[in-house]
Amino acid sequence: MLVETTTCPGCGVRLERIEGAFDDRSMNVSPECRHLLGQVTGFELQHISLVGRCHQMTVDAYGAQHPGPPTRPIRVAYSLVGLHLALDLGFAGFEVREAHGRVGKPDPTWPGFERPPGLAEATIRDVAEAGVWAASIEGHAVGVQRWAEAVWQWWEGSRAEVESLTRRLLADWLERHGRSV
């Protein structure tokens, strides 16, 4: 029997087609990729140690990996700022969530982040294989970290703009947290 697969337009992951999977028309994702995000985040929410360690990074890596219509540019910008705060500046998930709450609404001065060429070297499938599908809490945490790093590396050409936007929007907050601007 031939298994029908789909390819996510955002991240490129190939997954087996799931009849009736939620078609998230607000993001540049396949229904199967969105379904897998639900499995991964559900696993996180079942294990409290993963919520603080991984959940915000999962949200931000997923948002940054699915740019392009219909994903709203604000989702990509927030996700990139979150990855910068976590991976470059060492902020924990709850701190990144706090920063997101302080960023405010976008305005015309925010850069428009253009999708990088190619694809990131990891996807949400890598996280699922290491975590939920293997029933491994530590594998999940390692998988999220590697995935987020791969997505952030994919955006290498936009890092200066992300860093500048972060400084502009969060200068006071960064100083209060002992980070230079």
pLDDT in tens, 60-80: 999 999 999 998 889 999 999
- Tokens 């392009």, residue? 68
Q: Which residues of 83-109 are buried (b: 16+ CB within 10 A; e: fewer)?
A: bbbbbebebebebbbbbbeebeebeee
CB atoms within 10 A of CB 48: 9
Higher pLDDT residue, 87 or 179? Answer: 87
Q: What is the DSSP letter of 121?
A: S
Q: Cα separation of 33 and 30, whole Å? A: 5
Mean pLDDT of the chain: 93
Q: What is the DSSP letter of 88?
A: I
Which pLDDT does position 128 carry in this prediction?
A: 98
Which pLDDT does position 181 carry in this prediction?
A: 61
* Mean pLDDT calculated for residue range 105-110: 84
Beta bridge partners of 14: 7
